[in-house]
A and B are shown apart, each in its own frame.
Chain A
Amino acid sequence: MEKTNVSSQKTALRIALVAVLTAVVVVFTLMVRVPTPLKGYISLCDVVIYFAAYLFGPWAAAIAGGLGTGLADLLGGYAQWAPLSFIIHGAQGLLVALIARAPISAGVRGDAPFIRMVMGGLLGVIVMAGGYYIAGGFLYGFEPALVEVPLNLLQAGVGMVLGIIVSKTVQKAYPPVRSLYW
């Protein structure tokens, strides 16, 4: 009987990891909403992107974040935003993970250091809000695009805080999560 090798087993796990995380990003974007004081809502897609970046590394966060938010835009009726969300949230996940998990990539055992999680998270907030500002500027003008900046900062900021909290609580609730990595 033909056997699968270790490399293909690893690839199967990576595909499963990214597919499930992508689905979670879509669900969190479309279903989970936190009310804001202005009677609006912010989505929690950033929570999953930060969570993936802190626990699973840059590629899982970039692909799941980009694909998930792009698909959510398609399914939510905002198809014109899908390619932009793919790039912006993909870059966000990639950069957050690269900074937060740099010691782990260098061979240091353990979790991502808290200070690096915050540093990477803040960069992610800037990338997300800045990315949508530039994209919005080209699509419907830089002055109107300013209106969305505070909301995007709030959404990404909340995503960062919850992402850090949830990455800790999930590790406590489900320790085998450490065996799932890119």
Chain B
Amino acid sequence: MTTNTFIAGKGFLYRFDPRAKLLLLVLLCAFVFLPVSMPGLWLVVAVVFLTTWSSTGFKQALHPLRSILPLLIIMVVFIPLTHRDSEVVLSISGFPLVTTGALENFNLLAARFIGITYMCTLFFWTTPMGDIMLTLRWYGLSHKAALVLTLAFRFIPFIADAFQMIQDSHSMREPNLGEKDRRRQPLADVVPTVTSALVFALKSIPQLAMSLEHRGFGRAGARSAYRRLAPRKGLFTHFFFSVMIPASLWLVFNTLG
């Protein structure tokens, strides 16, 4: 099991400071929920998609869209049930199938959902997991919380491999192919595997706690500390852009004025 979401690529986002990039992500996610014009919202979505395309390639850029496609189809299917009282665009035997209100609502929700999906995905594709951790530390994540996260990442492949082996060994207890006297019970069959996997994982906890103590956890003079993100040139500029991009978009596309 892979525990890395980073995809090597090219483009300004790879050179953008992760601290500023995280701020930009949060502000852009907030932007899509503000009262902005639809062309403005779709423009932002298009720019984010094009950035994903230029950073990781077209094929890779389609992945997030594929993952949310079922939900988009469900949204289309549910159009006839929403905003029945507005102007009818299409009707079948008197039943209002599509209304202007429903279309506007679908337009807004689809733009928001696609936009948020691409923004979040792009952040994790263009930022190495180590840098994300250090960014969170820079924003105030405690040492203990960071330790939990890094240890969890360390243990995911270990437990996944063990689980696979446990699952394989339990599957050997199932009846032979062709023997139809025993009905398959998905839930009952899963209990022994889940129990074994949990016991295996729990057995590693005391050892891990001891390892932490041996490494000096809890001592006054800590023997190790997390690396800090280097104070880089242009950090202020990156933060400036992170604030100015959403602020400018809001000023141009807001529908309040």
Residues of A within 8 A of B (CB): 2, 4-5, 7-9, 11-13, 15-24, 26-28, 30-32, 34-35, 44, 47-48, 51, 63, 67-68, 71, 74-75, 77-80, 82, 139-141, 143-144, 147, 158, 161-162, 165-166, 169-170, 173-174, 176-177, 180
Contact = CB atoms under 8 A, between A and B. Distances in A.
Contact of A77 (B67, B116, B195): B67
B67 A141 contact: no
Interface in B184-214: 186-187, 190-191, 193-199, 201-206, 208-210, 212-213
Given A22-B152, A27-B1, A80 B117 contact: yes
Interface size class of B (residues with CB under 8 A): 35 or more
B186 A20 contact: no
Nearest to B72: A140
Contact of A79 (B74, B82, B121, B163): B121
B202 A177 contact: yes
Interface of B: 1-3, 5, 63-64, 67, 71-72, 74-75, 77-78, 81-82, 105-106, 109-110, 112-113, 116-117, 119-121, 123-124, 144, 147-149, 151-156, 158-160, 163-164, 186-187, 190-191, 193-199, 201-206, 208-210, 212-213, 217-221
A140 B160 contact: no
B75 A141 contact: yes
Contact of A51 (B1, B5, B116, B198): B198
Interface of A is mostly: helix
A75 B124 CA distance: 9
30 contacts: A2-B220, A9-B209, A11-B218, A12-B217, A13-B209, A17-B209, A19-B151, A20-B159, A20-B202, A22-B149, A23-B155, A23-B201, A24-B197, A26-B156, A27-B197, A31-B164, A32-B190, A34-B190, A77-B64, A78-B67, A79-B120, A80-B121, A82-B120, A140-B72, A140-B110, A141-B75, A141-B109, A162-B194, A170-B202, A180-B206
